[in-house]
């Protein structure tokens, strides 16, 4: 019987219980903190990739729009690469954008390829007897400051007067 009383006295002793409870909560809070850190690191990486991809996309789109508005690239019956060091306008010899404090800028390059001449596209109101079209394909590759790349391609018809 005395042995049972010793066991009961040992089990009734609550000293150290607070330490055990504190250790369990400390382990739980450490696990939650590590999960939050891992999750935020993953989110930062994902958003950096998204930003790089969007910068590259807009660099390629900007290059397409710039080249479409520059008649110099549509004077060939071959392929012209851009930017072109022989371009008569000095500002058109580079498609780089300056970087920011956060990183490097974007850049774009590509080519304009002549396909053929023909009648103007229907529905634009141009007469077949007065005008003709030169058909081209523009391919632009945009590169973000972080090195992500995006390729855009577009077909263009340049309408010119005959004669």
Q: Per-residue confidence at 75, pLDDT binned at 50, 70, 90?
A: confident
**pTM confidence score:** 0.73
pLDDT in tens, 88-130: 888 788 888 887 656 678 999 999 999 999 998 888 888 888 8
Contact by Cβ (8 Å): 112, 80: yes
pLDDT for the residue 102: 60
Mean pLDDT of 36-56: 92
What single string gives the DSSP state of each residue in 53-94?
Answer: HHHHHHHHHHHHHHHHT-GGGGS-SSEEEES-TT-SSGGGG-
Assess whether pLDDT exceeds 70 at residue 82.
Answer: yes
Q: Which of 7-11, 74-78, 115-119 has the highest mean pLDDT?
A: 115-119
pLDDT for the residue 149: 95
| CA 83 to chain centroid | 20
Both structure tokens of 18: 């607070």
């Amino acid at each position: 019987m005395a042995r049972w009383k010793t066991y009961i006295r040992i089990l009734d002793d609550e000293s150290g219980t607070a330490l055990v409870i504190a250790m369990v909560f400390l382990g739980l809070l450490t696990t939650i903190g590590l999960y939050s850190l891992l999750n935020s690191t993953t989110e930062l990486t994902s958003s950096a990739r998204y930003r790089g991809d969007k910068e590259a996309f807009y660099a390629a789109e900007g290059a397409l729009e710039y080249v479409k508005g520059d008649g110099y690239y549509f004077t060939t019956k071959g392929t012209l690469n851009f930017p072109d060091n022989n371009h008569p306008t000095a500002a058109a010899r580079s498609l780089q954008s300056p970087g920011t404090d956060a990183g490097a800028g974007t850049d774009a390059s590509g080519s304009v390829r002549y396909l053929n001449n023909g009648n103007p596209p229907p529905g634009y109101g141009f007469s077949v007897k007065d005008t003709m079209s030169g058909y081209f394909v523009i391919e632009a590759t945009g590169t973000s400051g972080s090195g992500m790349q995006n390729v855009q391609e577009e077909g263009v018809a340049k309408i010119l007067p005959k004669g």
